[in-house]
Amino acid sequence: MNQIRNIVILTGAGVSAESGIDTFRDAGGLWEQHRVEDVATPEAFARDPELVLRFYDMRREAIQTKQPNAAHHALARLDAEWRGELLIVTQNVDDLHERAGATRVLHMHGEHLNAWCTACDERSPWTGPLLDRPACPECGVAALRPDVVWFGEMPYRMEEIFAALREADLFVSIGTSGAVYPAAGFVRNARELGAATLELNLEPSQGSSWFDESRHGPATEVVPAWVDELLTRK
């Protein structure tokens, strides 16, 4: 690889799998247990808010019992030690990157630990349930929803992501199936913008052939090994 200074890392559910958080599309994953149309669309929320709120209340409660794994810790170490630009763009709605100590993290699909008020548009930190329709701490109206991007909604902070991709020398995708756009298209954007591309995943993803290099194995093994390699080659 040529000189690397600026890095964009895309993470997905595979990075949190070994912390005990279900992925979406693996055998037994969330989308095998629930229909996306029932729990993860604005239409589902309008039709049956209790079902949707109960689903996200369970997920919000569950992630708070999980711990970051060696992959999160390795990425936090890279974040702390890397002198160039670095951005971890995560599709995950858990907070395990942050709890491992990473700071340069952007949640493009939102966060379980936020509630979003559809009346006043404010986001508030939230750890408890939403099913009982609590009032927004900002405006007092009971109009809170999970701050999670649903199918049919625009992912967050796309301008910042594309600004980082434009400057990137290296794009790394970790633990994501490459099934959901726009994240699945970042590898092609990065290539066209001149970055080297690397995939770290349990198995070849749907977009594997777009990467210059793919390494396969559990995130807790392949991510720390890659971070060690990168930090010692400087």
Q: At closest approach, how far in Å is the CB of 208 from ligand OAD?
A: 9
Q: At closest approach, how far in Å is the CB of 5 from ligand OAD?
A: 26
Q: Which of 73, 97, 107, 109 is catalytic?
A: 109
Q: Which stretch in 78-86, 132-140, 188-196, 199-207 sits in contact with ligand OAD by CB under 6 A?
A: 199-207
106 touches ligand OAD (CB under 6 A): no
Candidates 6, 114, 177, 214; binder of ligand OAD (CB under 6 A) is 177
Q: Map residue 39 onto helix, strand or coil.
A: helix
Whether 109 is catalytic is yes
Rounded Cα–Cα distance for residues 64 and 183 (Å): 25
Tokens describing residue 98: 């942050």
Of residues 200-229, which lie at the interface with ligand OAD (CB under 6 A)?
Answer: 201-203, 205, 218-219
Candidates 106, 119, 143, 149; binder of ligand OAD (CB under 6 A) is 149
Write out the binding residues: 12-31, 56, 59, 91-94, 117, 120, 136, 139, 175-177, 201-203, 219
Q: Which is nearer to ligand OAD, 168 or 183 (CB)?
A: 183
Candidates 7, 9, 21, 23; binder of ligand OAD (CB under 6 A) is 23
Q: Which is nearer to ligand OAD, 7 or 93 (CB)?
A: 93
Of residues 49-88, which lie at the interface with ligand OAD (CB under 6 A)?
Answer: none
- CA of 69: how far to CAs of 53, 64, 101, 222, in Å? 28, 14, 12, 12
R_g of the chain computed on alpha carbons: 18
Rounded Cα–Cα distance for residues 147 and 124 (Å): 9
Q: At closest approach, how far in Å is the CB of 184 from ligand OAD?
A: 8
In the structure, how many helices (H) and strands (E) does the chain have?
Answer: 9, 9
- CA of 165: how far to CAs of 12, 93, 162, 206, in Å? 17, 21, 5, 21
Rounded Cα–Cα distance for residues 17 and 214 (Å): 19
Q: At closest approach, how far in Å is the CB of 14 from ligand OAD?
A: 2
Q: Contact 197/191 with Cβ under 8 angstroms?
A: yes
Q: Contact 184/178 with Cβ under 8 angstroms?
A: yes
Residue 226 host element (H or E): helix 219-232
Residues in contact with ligand OAD by CB under 6 A are 12-14, 17-18, 23-26, 29, 40, 91, 109, 149, 175-177, 179-180, 201-203, 205, 218-219
Give catalytic residue positions: 109
